[in-house]
A and B are shown apart, each in its own frame.
Chain A
Amino acid sequence: DVKVTQSSRYLVKRTGEKVFLECVQDMDHENMFWYRQDPGLGLRLIYFSYDVKMKEKGDIPEGYSVSREKKERFSLILESASTNQTSMYLCASSSQGPYEQYFGPGTRLTVT
């Protein structure tokens, strides 16, 4: 079975802190994605990557950056966390085309 793991299930950070969210997949998938999910808004795509060192902006990239140095790992970085970045963050991976995405368990981030 495909496994997508995220570094933390729950995280509490202070405003202005730099935050790293790590995602690792074990199926040699080319594509990896970061989403945030907020009540009433569904999932919104932040960034995605279709190859090592490649990245593309999604619908809401402002305030975020990403890093993909190895195929299996995709990191989401909040350079200076703000309270409006309090959310559930979901990582996903897929092979060949974005369709059958496999999601991690999510990280619930609270910025105070």
Chain B
Amino acid sequence: LAKTTQPISMDSYEGQEVNITCSHNNIATNDYITWYQQFPSQGPRFIIQGYKTKVTNEVASLFIPADRKSSTLSLPRVSLSDTAVYYCLVGDNMGRRALTFGSGTRLQVQP
């Protein structure tokens, strides 16, 4: 399984755009990139998934460069409620292998 590296923590202010980058140098051809969000005392929640280029949903955007060795989760105009831990995962969507969660990035949004 491709190993991922993310910053341990990030700070931001309300209304700003936040970009969290994840590196995955050993990503395989069949691997997808997925991001989860976790609030304190809750289980993680799926945010977004992509394979290449750009994916956007109502919550976030995911940017994946052509070499796919990294990806960036973009949260537009964050609010205090976006304070959470964000996990980047990489893995094959076809098989029955489970994914590995790393330590994630702790995002703190200040007023």
Which A residues form the contact surface with B (CB < 8 A)? 4, 31, 33, 35, 40-45, 48, 50, 56, 58-59, 90, 92, 97-106
Contact = CB atoms under 8 A, between A and B. Distances in A.
Interface residues of B, number: 25
A33 B43 CA distance: 12
A98 B99 contact: yes
B24 to A, nearest CB: 15
Interface string B57-93: 0000000000000000000000000000001000111
A103 B46 CA distance: 9
Contacts of A59: 100
Contact of A44 (B87, B92, B93, B101): B101
Given A99-B49, A99-B93, A100-B49, A42 B101 contact: yes
Contact of A98 (B42, B45, B87, B91): B91
A88 to B, nearest CB: 9
Contacts of A98: 91, 93, 96-99
Nearest to B89: A99
Contacts of A100: 34, 46, 49
A104 B45 CA distance: 10
A53 B75 CA distance: 40
Interface string B36-57: 1000011111100100000000
B100 A45 contact: yes
Contact of B98 (A56, A90, A102, A106): A56
A31 B93 CA distance: 13
B104 A42 contact: yes
B28 to A, nearest CB: 15
B49 to A, nearest CB: 6
A100 B44 CA distance: 10
A42 B49 contact: no
Nearest to B104: A42
